[in-house]
Chains A and B, each alone.
Chain A
Amino acid sequence: MSAVEKIKADFASDQEVRWCPGCGDFAIFAQMKKILPTLGVNPEDVAFVSGIGCSSRFPYYLETFGMHGIHGRAPAIATGLKRTRPDLQVWVVTGDGDALSIGCTHLLHALRRNVDIKILLFNNRIYGLTKGQFSPTSPPGLVTSSTPMGTVHQPLHPLKIALASNATFVARSVDTNAKHLGEILRRTAAHRGSAFVEIYQNCHIFNDGAFDFAKNSTIRDDHTVEIAQGQPLVFGKQRDKGIRLNGTELEVISLGEDYGEDDLLVHDEKADTSAVAQMLAEMQHPQMPEVIGVLRDIQLPTHNDLMPDETVSADVRAQKLKAILNSGETWAVKN
């Protein structure tokens, strides 16, 4: 196999992958390598941009163009890149600390502008690279290196923030749920506009088991609801439970004698408003099962569509530039 063929087979670079063995990042990386060759893009037309943190090493391991950024700023870097290079497929890889603490502003603004970039937030609810401090998504009470008595802060919820920022594609998946994650990544790649995906990622070194309810195959079906367009929200190992809209609240009901599938909320990722999607994002373990899948997928003009950018030839540019320089009141001085 020539070098080029080899790259096209899985897009992997020759760099040694340096996450802790067993880290959830490996599973996500494996899916990415699987889907990239199927997208019909050349490696040189793809750019991965990241911030700082364990997840942000991602770009080094792929044989595409890549920028390992500074802490929290990947969405801003990617915005400038996409704005001036609309032809590239631009991905952002970030983590909960990177995207929701130091770089929260950039995330909100990239999403609300609908910049055509694909943002993957690996949420492990902890700071890994700096050795285990609580993160903005850590649940209250979590004992960490900087909170020996447990954290007291209310966590931020990535999906709620993405929806509130009017992101046009919002989804969630789980690192080890290979089939589901692969499908979500494929849809993310296909979306035109800001796509935001929260991926539950286990950091077994500093926050092991944070997502057992969603990962452990023996219990996950009872604690997660896989949503799909036009389908009622059914879940449970026996598919015997569902989510119903009761007044203005969502509730879990048992299917059977009293209720049937007709009583359940039917998922609409194309809804005009994000109100129901917000309610789905609000569902939290252990009180409620958590949703995985695409919460929202709508089409709106992208940042590049809306900006008055013009591509001009050198001749036209010279001509326009001369007109600009010579505009306003001018006067001639003769010899």
Chain B
Amino acid sequence: MQLAGSQVALTSALLGNDIATFPDYPAEIRAPKGTPAGVSGFQVHFSSETVMTPGDSVDVLVAMNPAALKSNLSYLKPHGTVILDGDAFDAKGLRLAKYEQNPIEDGSLSSFQLVEAPITSQTRAAVAEAGVSHKVATRCRNFFAMGIIYWLYGRSLDATIRFIDSKFKGDIADADKLALNAGWNFGETTEAFERSYYVPAATPLPGKYRNVTGNEALAFGLATAAHLSGKDLFYSAYPITPASDILHRVSRFTECGARTFQAEDEIAAICSAIGASFGGAMGTTGSSGPGIALKTEAMGYAVMLELPLLVINVQRGGPSTGLPTKVEQTDLFQAVLGRNGEAPMPVLAASGPSDCFATVIEAWRIACKLMTPVMILSDAFTANGAEPWLIPDIDGLEPIEIEHPGVKTDDTPFLPYQRDDLLSRPWALPGTAGLTHRIGGIEKENGTGAISYDPENHETMVQIRSDKVANAQQLFSPVEIYGDSTGDLLVVSWGGTLGTCREAVKQSRETGQKVSHLHLRHLNPFPAELGAMLNGFDRVLVAELNTGQLRQLLRAEYLVNATGLNKVRGQPFWIEDVKTAISANLGQEN
């Protein structure tokens, strides 16, 4: 189903529609089939206008079995179309989904446009000539369903046929194509559909586009940041949902100098990246919440060493194993505060799939300039969701300048912890004569880097490390308020909720509400202009997929009486959630 969804998205994008996707799948690879727990879903939103979110509710729901219908019907718009595989609504299917009565027959779907297609039997009949096994024939059902959708929206089958030819061989490819065509033909010949839709192309900025998921964009960003800084990328990770795809991707970039390392555990992943940074490579690692917890000590170590390092956290539902495939923004405290000792590091969050690219490049620029580890936050929604991406011209991107000190011939001692204007220290590489020095987790004397237990020096160093991270403000990309810079209400959000919050604010403004929107990429330190921006509004509403972590940080930093819109259900915000909260904050009915 994930494959079918991404193909529908790609086909729409190739036609010039703007798209956003929301894959929603169980944590188990082979979760019990036919039960609500085993439902794997994929939501695609395509439009001739700019698409900001995968959508709150859907126009068409394809349910391959009763369980899928049961767990997703609530997302179907009133009078929407529901396409069911009638063959799957047998006694066993209904029992697994815990339906007492067959919903096709009991009238519970009467407010929708119901299309009951015998998908399983028709698929088997259609692929018979390919001579594939019963099992393979059954697996072609998704292609049959895609064929129906392509007909419904007047889409060409070409892109998916190319995909099938590139991915599968022989009988299997034949069977997939037969099923796809049969689905299309079913749509055309059946009289069940009231109409076939036509969605014209959207009009985005000119240029060359491709679809990109958040994890892909992170991988692209890593490779591009390495190039811009003239470094070899070293990406080290331990497999974990939903971050593993970054490792898969980067491991295919060896031809542009990338090195990947699948480490024995999360700790080895970050430690090897720190070793690589010491040697002068672009040391990076990525994981999700539980893995980040394991890396904590090493992050503090990197803070102490003052070496550049990127740590990516693709957040998922927590705590502990939590909801491994679902979205939350519950690791903000962990990112900003979660280390022993005074161990500040810059924290940046990507606002969506394509923004992952720019966020990584900015993070690496900061890491190199300030000789510090930097945390990048993404989330399961951003990681797996796809959207069209204007492929950047890398020659036009600003290089990341790094100056390594050169060979030193005089007899004066080299000072590894000497400070520059931003309080950063030199990145002296092994192999450079005259620069031999030792670094480590024990407190260092400022300047010389010698071990020091001196109270005065420790306090100085704590302050320097803190001030240095605060200096990241000077390197940040600018922040902008959407809407007016003063008003009744400012909605503040961060991370992967940009699309939903922006759309909600836009719609609320269209009704005359004096609401603006500020979306933050920089969560530690906050942008220099943030305090003044908050001051321009009577009220501040912080929308986030946790119980109020950014809200607490903002209240502590700016003494602002912010309220929260919070959701911790393993799901993204819906536009309605945000609009309702805006109205409530303005004392109005939505």
B433 on interface, CB distance cutoff 8 Å: yes
Q: Which of A20-76 contact B (CB under 8 A)?
A: 42-45, 47, 49, 52, 59-60, 63-70, 73, 76
Q: Which 6 residue pairs are nearest across A and B when measured between Cβ atoms? A: A68-B440, A80-B272, A80-B275, A66-B438, A81-B275, A76-B271
Contacts of B259 in A (CB 8 A): 83-84, 307, 309
Contacts of B450 in A (CB 8 A): 15
Cross-chain contact B234 with A80 (CB below 8 angstroms): yes
Whole-angstrom distance between the Cβ of B350 and the nearest chain A Cβ: 17
Cross-chain contact B257 with A67 (CB below 8 angstroms): no
B274 on interface, CB distance cutoff 8 Å: yes
A306 on interface, CB distance cutoff 8 Å: no
Contacts of B230 in A (CB 8 A): 314
A106 on interface, CB distance cutoff 8 Å: yes
Contacts of A65 in B (CB 8 A): 278, 430, 436-438
Whole-angstrom distance between the Cβ of A223 and the nearest chain B Cβ: 37
A88 on interface, CB distance cutoff 8 Å: yes
With contact pairs A66-B438, A70-B441, A321-B227 given, residues A80 and B254 touching in the complex (Cβ less than 8 Å): no
Contacts of B402 in A (CB 8 A): none
A149 on interface, CB distance cutoff 8 Å: no
* B residues adjacent to A (C-beta < 8 A): 10, 13-14, 16, 159, 162, 203-211, 220, 223-224, 226-227, 230, 232, 234, 236, 252-257, 259, 261, 263-265, 267-268, 271-281, 283, 297-298, 301, 305, 391-392, 394-395, 409, 411, 430-442, 450-451
Cross-chain contact B273 with A80 (CB below 8 angstroms): yes
Cross-chain contact B440 with A59 (CB below 8 angstroms): yes
Contacts of B297 in A (CB 8 A): 70
Which B residue's beta carbon lies closest to that of A330? B210
A284 on interface, CB distance cutoff 8 Å: no
A148 on interface, CB distance cutoff 8 Å: no
- Against B, the Cβ 8 Å flags (1 = close, 0 = not) of A303-335 are 000011111101011101110111111111111
Cross-chain contact A88 with B272 (CB below 8 angstroms): no
A231 on interface, CB distance cutoff 8 Å: no
Whole-angstrom distance between the Cβ of B454 and the nearest chain A Cβ: 15
Once the chains are docked, how many angstroms separate the CA of A120 from the CA of B351? 47
Cross-chain contact A310 with B257 (CB below 8 angstroms): yes
Interface hit among A2-10, A138-146, A193-201: A2-10
Which of A47, A325, A335 sits near B206, CB closer than 8 Å?
Answer: A335
* A residues adjacent to B (C-beta < 8 A): 2-4, 7, 13, 15, 42-45, 47, 49, 52, 59-60, 63-70, 73, 76-85, 87-88, 105-106, 108-109, 307-312, 314, 316-318, 320-322, 324-335
Which A residue's beta carbon lies closest to that of B219? A324
Contacts of A60 in B (CB 8 A): 438, 440, 451
Cross-chain contact A85 with B279 (CB below 8 angstroms): yes
With contact pairs A68-B439, A325-B391 given, residues A105 and B271 touching in the complex (Cβ less than 8 Å): no
Which of A3, A85, A324 sits near B411, CB closer than 8 Å?
Answer: A3
Once the chains are docked, how many angstroms separate the CA of A330 from the CA of B261? 30
Which of A87, A312, A326, A332 sits near B431, CB closer than 8 Å?
Answer: A87
Whole-angstrom distance between the Cβ of A274 and the nearest chain B Cβ: 21
Cross-chain contact A325 with B263 (CB below 8 angstroms): no
Once the chains are docked, how many angstroms separate the CA of A318 from the CA of B259? 16
* Max chain A C-beta neighbours (<10 A), residue from B223, B256, B391: B256
Cross-chain contact A76 with B16 (CB below 8 angstroms): no
| Apart from the given pairs A316-B256, A332-B206, 12 other A-B contacts in the complex at a CB distance below 8 Å | A60-B440, A63-B436, A64-B436, A67-B278, A70-B441, A77-B275, A83-B234, A84-B279, A106-B268, A309-B254, A320-B253, A320-B255
Whole-angstrom distance between the Cβ of B400 and the nearest chain A Cβ: 13
Contacts of A333 in B (CB 8 A): 16, 203-209
Whole-angstrom distance between the Cβ of B126 and the nearest chain A Cβ: 26
Once the chains are docked, how many angstroms separate the CA of A309 from the CA of B207? 33
Contacts of A312 in B (CB 8 A): 255-257
Cross-chain contact B275 with A332 (CB below 8 angstroms): no
Cross-chain contact A73 with B267 (CB below 8 angstroms): yes
Once the chains are docked, how many angstroms separate the CA of A109 from the CA of B297? 20
Contacts of B224 in A (CB 8 A): 321, 325
* Max chain A C-beta neighbours (<10 A), residue from B226, B236, B271: B271
With contact pairs A68-B442, A84-B259 given, residues A329 and B210 touching in the complex (Cβ less than 8 Å): yes
Once the chains are docked, how many angstroms separate the CA of A7 from the CA of B441? 25
Whole-angstrom distance between the Cβ of B299 and the nearest chain A Cβ: 10
Contacts of A43 in B (CB 8 A): 436
Which of A63, A83, A308, A328 sits near B261, CB closer than 8 Å?
Answer: A83
Cross-chain contact B209 with A331 (CB below 8 angstroms): yes
For this complex, 13 residue pairs linking A to B, each with C-beta atoms less than 8 Å apart, are A60-B440, A67-B305, A67-B438, A68-B438, A76-B264, A81-B430, A85-B279, A87-B431, A106-B268, A309-B259, A325-B224, A331-B208, A332-B207
Once the chains are docked, how many angstroms separate the CA of A84 from the CA of B236? 12
Cross-chain contact A84 with B394 (CB below 8 angstroms): no
Cross-chain contact B268 with A79 (CB below 8 angstroms): yes
Which of B162, B434, B439, B451 sits near A44, CB closer than 8 Å?
Answer: B434
Once the chains are docked, how many angstroms separate the CA of A305 from the CA of B29? 34
With contact pairs A60-B451, A77-B275, A321-B227 given, residues A330 and B209 touching in the complex (Cβ less than 8 Å): yes
Whole-angstrom distance between the Cβ of A253 and the nearest chain B Cβ: 43
Which A residue's beta carbon lies closest to that of B264? A109
Cross-chain contact A329 with B14 (CB below 8 angstroms): yes
Contacts of A45 in B (CB 8 A): 430-431
Which A residue's beta carbon lies closest to that of B255? A320
Once the chains are docked, how many angstroms separate the CA of A80 from the CA of B208? 37
Cross-chain contact A73 with B298 (CB below 8 angstroms): yes
Which of B236, B252, B440 sits near A69, CB closer than 8 Å?
Answer: B440
Contacts of B265 in A (CB 8 A): 105
Which A residue's beta carbon lies closest to that of B410? A3
Once the chains are docked, how many angstroms separate the CA of A108 from the CA of B209? 46
Whole-angstrom distance between the Cβ of A333 and the nearest chain B Cβ: 5
Contacts of B437 in A (CB 8 A): 65-66
Which of B162, B234, B256, B301 sits near A84, CB closer than 8 Å?
Answer: B234
Cross-chain contact B272 with A77 (CB below 8 angstroms): yes
Contacts of B204 in A (CB 8 A): 333
Cross-chain contact A83 with B14 (CB below 8 angstroms): no
Contacts of A325 in B (CB 8 A): 210, 220, 224, 391-392, 394
* Max chain B C-beta neighbours (<10 A), residue from A47, A78, A88, A329: A329
With contact pairs A78-B275, A84-B280, A106-B264 given, residues A330 and B256 touching in the complex (Cβ less than 8 Å): no
* Max chain A C-beta neighbours (<10 A), residue from B159, B264, B276, B279: B279
Cross-chain contact A69 with B271 (CB below 8 angstroms): yes
Cross-chain contact A80 with B394 (CB below 8 angstroms): no
Cross-chain contact B276 with A83 (CB below 8 angstroms): yes
